[in-house]
Amino acid sequence: MTCVLDPGIRVSEIFGPTIQGEGMLIGLPTVFVRTGGCDYRCSWCDSLHAVDNRFRHEWKTMSTDAIWQEVNLLSGGRPVMVSLSGGNPAIQPLGALIERGHREGYRFALETQGSVARDWFAELDVLVLSPKPPSSEMTTDWTAFEACVEAARDKPQIVLKLVVFDETDYGYAKDAAARYPQLPVYLQPGNHTPPRPYGEEVDMDGIMKRMEWLIETVTCDRWFDARVLPQLHVLLWGNKRGV
Amino acid sequence: MTCVLDPGIRVSEIFGPTIQGEGMLIGLPTVFVRTGGCDYRCSWCDSLHAVDNRFRHEWKTMSTDAIWQEVNLLSGGRPVMVSLSGGNPAIQPLGALIERGHREGYRFALETQGSVARDWFAELDVLVLSPKPPSSEMTTDWTAFEACVEAARDKPQIVLKLVVFDETDYGYAKDAAARYPQLPVYLQPGNHTPPRPYGEEVDMDGIMKRMEWLIETVTCDRWFDARVLPQLHVLLWGNKRGV
């Protein structure tokens, strides 16, 4: 007999339901499970509280059961979309949580940069792959990225979500899209005033200007199958957490 | 031999490509063909320049060919999503335009309140049915609405888009959704400061507050398969036309 212990999942925060603020599922009521820890450190990270070890004391190691109970409580026991985000949620053991939720009709979307592949990606309903452009100061390992696409085995809907700060990022986004012509593309203007430790104040005018620039760039370039969407939660609530 | 004359299409404006600001196709580059004339007169209409006969002198009767040439020019000959809006575009003869565009790979979405059904609805790619809630001071003829759904014959993707100003509108939206449980639902907070003749100034804070109220209402009500989306073009450009 083998005894399988629940290894525990490192959680930064669980909140919702609120609407998904970005990408393919924008506007959809969602409960967020944000895991702690990341193998990346993007220069403009907007979730440092779930990435930087300085915030480690805020994270909790929770069992699948404990997370499931909290999600269930927040949703009032009613099936809802659950977004697994981070940090990089792919470095946590989330397969059992997905299986548990599916049994009760919940759906799961996972957001990751595509640096770590997991077998259980194939159990997701939506896999959002968000490779990080040059402005992040990270380098994309396209072999690891491809492993993520393969791990999904055409089962979840896969989409590309690309943050764009400038022309260089835009070129990177076009390249990423060209590598995966079968995947829908969502472009998102970057927030150059992300939450702490850089400060709490959002430059809304600046974000809106970047959004306008991105719309103009995409339409002038006649990239007519890319979608351009802002981060709705930032427009609504600035850098506030838990909404 | 029968000679079929092109009856002409009454056009208020053709513009784009810009992104679709609302509903299912939000964020997608789109060329808009806004027709003139409407069988409704919603109290808060945000496109009166395409509805009210006082603006009739701004409308042009155009042939399918002429419209097609303009769309083609705007898109640089590259297939793009074309949104047929109004007014009520269903009262114009748009079948030939859709056929023409499809031959060259363009796609077509039509936005209508669902008061007038047309055979050519079945040729669309997306049919957005937007029945008007009580705050509009219009009354929905559900028999006419059902005829629109039937005319589409399950060929285009049909979605419901519902503008919500208050609790009463919200109740109406729930009722409409319950009538068509198979159709995806998009909820949109109303703009209580629509463009002229009421004035050009948009109350952005008021719109954002209504958006927040709607998100809270939907999530507390656990209506987890409805999407809540703002009018992005209003957030970006206020009441400006042609963007």
B229 contact residues in A (CB cutoff 8 A):
26-27, 232
Residue A144 DSSP SS3: helix
Residue A198 above 60 pLDDT? no
Asked if A186 lies within 8 A of B26 by C-beta distance, the reply is: no
What's this model's pTM, rounded to 2 decimal places?
Answer: 0.95
Helices (H), ranges, B48-141 = 64-74, 95-103
* pLDDT tens digits, B84-127: 999 999 999 999 999 999 999 999 999 999 999 999 999 999 99
Contacts of B79 in chain A (CB under 8 A): 224
The whole-angstrom distance between A16's CA and the closest CA on chain B is 9
Q: For residue B239, is pLDDT > 90?
A: no
DSSP secondary-structure letter at A213? H
Work out the minimum CA distance from A67 to partner chain B, whole angstroms. Answer: 20
Question: Does the pLDDT of residue A4 top 80, yes or no?
Answer: no
Contact across the interface for B29 and A223, Cβ inside 8 Å? yes
Mean pLDDT over residues B66-85, rounded? 98
Q: What is the pLDDT of residue A189?
A: 97
Rounded to whole angstroms, how far apart are CA atoms A86 and A42?
Answer: 13
Measured CA to CA, the distance from residue B11 to residue B209 in angstroms comes to 34
Average pLDDT over residues B211-233: 97
Indicate the residue of B29, B211, B236 with minimum beta-carbon distance to A218. Answer: B29
Q: Hey, which residues 156-195 in chain B have their CB within 8 Å of chain A?
A: 186
In angstroms, the separation between the Cα of residue B56 and the nearest Cα of chain A is: 30
Which chain A residues contact residue B224 at CB under 8 A?
17, 28-29, 75, 78-81
Domains, chain B, in order of start with CATH, read 9-237 (3.20.20.70)
pLDDT at B198 over 80: no
Q: How far is A50 from chain B (nearest CA, A)?
A: 25
Q: Kindly state whether A217 is in contact with chain B, defined as any CB-CB distance less than 8 angstroms.
A: no
Question: Which residues from chain A sit within 8 angstroms of residue B227, using beta carbons?
Answer: 19, 26-28
B211 in contact with A at a CB cutoff of 8 Å? yes
Closest CB to B26 among A18, A219, A229: A229
Q: Which residues contact A47 (CB under 8 A, 6 or more apart)?
A: A12, A34, A85, A86, A87, A195
Q: What is the pLDDT of residue A243?
A: 75
Q: How confident is the model at residue A22 (pLDDT cuts 50, 70, 90)?
A: very high
With CA atoms as reference, report the closest residue to A161 among A200, A197, A202, A190.
Answer: A190
Q: Do A230 and B228 touch (CB under 8 A)?
A: no
Chain B CA closest to residue A76: B222
Model confidence at A166: pLDDT above 80: yes
Write down the pLDDT at residue B7. Answer: 77
Q: Cβ separation of B229 and A26 shorter than 8 Å?
A: yes
Whether the predicted interface score ipTM is above 0.90: yes
pLDDT band with cut points at 50, 70 and 90 for residue B242: confident
Q: Average pLDDT, stretch A116-128?
A: 98
Sign of the alpha-carbon torsion through B196, B165, A19, A223: negative
Average pLDDT over residues A43-59: 93
Q: Which residue of A has its CA nearest to B208?
A: A236
Residues from chain B that touch A212, judged by Cβ atoms under 8 A, are 236
B213: burial class by Cβ within 10 Å (0-12, 13-18, 19+)? Answer: middle
Q: What pLDDT score was predicted for residue A215? A: 98
pLDDT of residue B200: 66
Q: Grade residue A199 by pLDDT with cuts at 50, 70 and 90.
A: low
Q: Cβ separation of A28 and B227 shorter than 8 Å? A: yes
Dist. CA B23–CA B181, nearest whole Å? 17
Distances, alpha carbon A233 to alpha carbons A26, A29, B212, in Å: 10, 12, 10
Mean pLDDT of A178-196: 93
Q: Does B78 touch chain A (CB under 8 A)?
A: yes
Inter-chain CB proximity A27 and B224 less than 8 Å: no
The pLDDT value given to residue B38: 97
- Alpha carbon A99 to its chain centroid, in Å, reads 20
Closest of B179, B180, B199, B182 to residue B191, by C-alpha: B199
Size of interface A-B (CB pairs under 8 A): 92
Residue bearing the bigger pLDDT, B196 or A89: A89
CB of B57 within 8 Å of any CB in chain A?
no
| Gap from A83 CA to chain B (nearest CA, Å) | 13
Q: Grade residue A15 by pLDDT with cuts at 50, 70 and 90.
A: very high
- Confidence (pLDDT) at A195: 81
Of B17, B212, B227, the CB nearest to A27: B227
- Token pair for B149: 């759904």
B75 near A CB under 8 A: yes
Looking at the partner chain, which of A186, A215, A223 has a beta carbon nearest the beta carbon of B18? A215
pLDDT of residue B5: 66
